[in-house]
Chain A
Amino acid sequence: MSNSDIVMSDGEIKSKRKLQDIIFENLTLLFALTLILLVLLIMYEMFRDSAPTREKFGLGFIFNGNWDPVKEDFGALSFIYGTFVSSMIALAIALPVSLGVAIFLSEIAKGAVRSTISFLIEILAAIPSIIYGFWGIFVFAPYMKNFIEPFLSKYLGFLPVFSGSSSGFNLFTAGVILSIMIIPIITSISRDVMKAIPQSQREAAYALGATRWEAIKMAILNAKSGILGATVLGLGRAIGETMAVTMVIGNKAQIKSSFFEPAYSMASVIANEFAEASGKLHISALIEVGLILFGVTFIINSLARLLIYSVSKSKK
């Protein structure tokens, strides 16, 4: 009497174990596939629900600057403008600062100083948007109105973008608050890609007589596509940021050359009007704005990730 009468044969055990492994792998795959399904579902649903305005206005929706729920004349141009300009202001301020911090964290700081600053930057990223907005309304916008903006308009007022008086609730304030909010993400990814550049390259630079800055500059240049990726990622965050912008941008659908004029952003108009929108066309228009926002951030994030992957892969 062989053992196979009592227990399973070796072959049976093997195939049973193999089956378990296959089931488990496919189970995890199934969960993972829900993510793909989710993305497709988001696209499908927003596309479907924006049909009324897509059919009525077509491509003209993007080039129309009017937004009038009463007359049912809808165009996204003023929101696209507000989102674009406030994000660019944010990037212009955040990029140099973030690079400075990234250099400090990856090349200069050591030990407790490094971990403390990293920790604080992490917290900066974790503070809810609503708190930035709240602080923006009561502290930052008045500060901009009373000190920064009069100063800029006095000395740089000959530039159209800095002309005119301000209420504090405008594109510029929104841009500056956004810059604070995107500094953490640009910093942490730039720092990571700089760290991925091998130490031997800096040592080689030193050996050739480079100063410390020259050695660091070389590391930065080698990490440039990763830093570009980090910047694009920051741009994506700025474009999608909702509450903080809604609370300080002034919420006025208009296109003015001055940064000191109130404006409106894509995310803000959705946040402000969606819950109260009643007309079918109004809701559809808001969903179409959301669809544009989704499309733009999807492309930008994809691009950013590809840039970042290219650096982190080449280091290995």
Chain B
Amino acid sequence: MLKEELLRKKRKFEYRKFKSTLMLSLSIAASIIAVLPLLYIFFYTTASGASALNFDFFTNLPKPFGEEGGGMGNAILGTFIMLMIGSTFGIPIGIMTGIYVSEYSGSVMSVIIKFLTDVLSGIPSIVIGIFTYGLIVLQTGKFSALAGGFALGLLMIPTITRTTEEMLKLVPNTLREASLALGITKWKTSLFIVLKTASSGIITGILLALARAAGETAPLLFTSFGNNFWSTSLNEPMSSIPVQIYNFAISPYEDWHKMAWAGAFVLITLVFVVNLIVRIITKRKFTLN
């Protein structure tokens, strides 16, 4: 009688142990499944794109199909110019908003703004494209680099605000108190003590925002449109790496696909390097997550 009881309990225990092992194995399996597509995309892009990369790729214009060679020089320049346009207002607004949300976190307004920043980061980038179209393209009557840069700048704001806020919050309060105790005003404390301490973290936020914006296609399709030639005019349509990849990718020509893979390889490398830098900087300075 007692023996049977014990045996039953033992069996139940073994079942629970088995279930535990099973679930933990499934969890490990899920991790492998999640990482596989990344490795696949990464190696496939490298294999297809790296061979088409050469010096010309960075300096030449795209060639009409059928002609050998050519590059994406104008698209690379275009992406760079539009990121600069976006940075001129995206970075200051992002950082100042981050300061407000972190350093004046008591007020109702700062809660509302933090919430809106989070919500804004989830708004589809194509919606930002439509907004920019109505605001700039419709008014000026044409697609332009200015419109593209504006859209990219808007997309950068939430990322920069969030990282600035998080980085400022990591700065120990004792530092703020020490500064205030020395009679330094609050604004000087915020700018020259707190912001300075967190500066490397904030730079990583800016880098992440730039890398993300560099890969955005949807908001550029009908703002900066595209351009097959060199252009630095802010009032003219401008080429960009992602839009150029898109146009090449959906074309039927093998040569163009190859160029698109090379472009994709450049973008993926950019993303990888930026994330690696961010990881190294944040590891050294703070323990983020």
- A residues with CB within 8 A of B: 17, 20-21, 23-25, 27-36, 38-39, 41-42, 45-46, 48-49, 96-101, 103-105, 107-109, 117-124, 126-135, 137-139, 180, 183, 187, 192, 211-214, 216, 233, 236-237, 239-243, 247, 267, 270-271, 274-275, 286-287, 290, 293-294, 297-298, 300-302, 304-305
Q: Say whether chain A's binding surface is mostly helix, strand, loop, or mixed.
A: helix
Whether B11 is near chain A, meaning CB under 8 Å from some CB there, is no
CB of B57 within 8 Å of the partner chain: no
The reply to whether B124 and A127 contact each other, CB–CB distance below 8 Å, is no
Q: Which of B41, B212, B216 has the most CB of A within 10 A?
A: B41
Cβ-defined contact, A36 with B116, below 8 A:
yes
Known: A108-B24, A123-B275, A290-B130. A131 touches B99 (CB 8 A): no
Q: With A29-B100, A42-B127, A129-B215 known to touch, is A298 a contact of B31 (CB < 8 Å)?
A: no
Out of A121, A274, A286, name the residue touching B35 (CB < 8 Å).
Answer: A121
Q: List 7 A-B contacts (CB under 8 A).
A: A101-B31, A124-B37, A131-B45, A267-B124, A287-B134, A297-B124, A305-B119
Report the separation of the CA atoms of residues A236 and B125 in the bound assembly, to the nearest whole angstrom. 12
Asked whether A41 lies within 8 Å of B187 as measured between CB atoms, the reply is no
**The residue from A104, A118, A183, A213 contacting B28, defined by CB atoms under 8 A apart:** A104
Interface segment, B80-88, B171-179, B218-226?
A: B218-226
Within the complex, the shortest CB–CB distance from B119 to chain A, in Å, comes to 5
A211 and B16 contact, Cβ closer than 8 Å, known pairs A20-B187, A240-B123: yes
Q: B193 in the interface, Cβ–Cβ < 8 Å?
A: no
Any A CB within 8 A of the CB of B96: yes
Interchain Cβ contacts within 8 Å, total number: 261
| Interface core residue of B16, B19, B97, B122 (most chain A CB under 10 Å) | B122
- CB-CB nearest in chain A for B92: A31
Residues of B within 8 A of A (CB): 16-17, 19-20, 23-24, 26-31, 33-35, 37-38, 40-41, 44-45, 92-93, 96-97, 99-101, 103-104, 109-110, 112-113, 115-120, 122-131, 133-135, 143, 154, 157, 161, 185-187, 190-191, 208, 211-212, 214-218, 221-222, 225, 242, 245-246, 249-250, 257, 260-261, 264, 267-268, 271-272, 274-275, 279, 289
Find out whether the CB atom of B127 lies under 8 angstroms from the CB atom of A28: no
A297 touches B249 (CB 8 A): no
Pair A293/B127 contact, Cβ less than 8 Å = yes
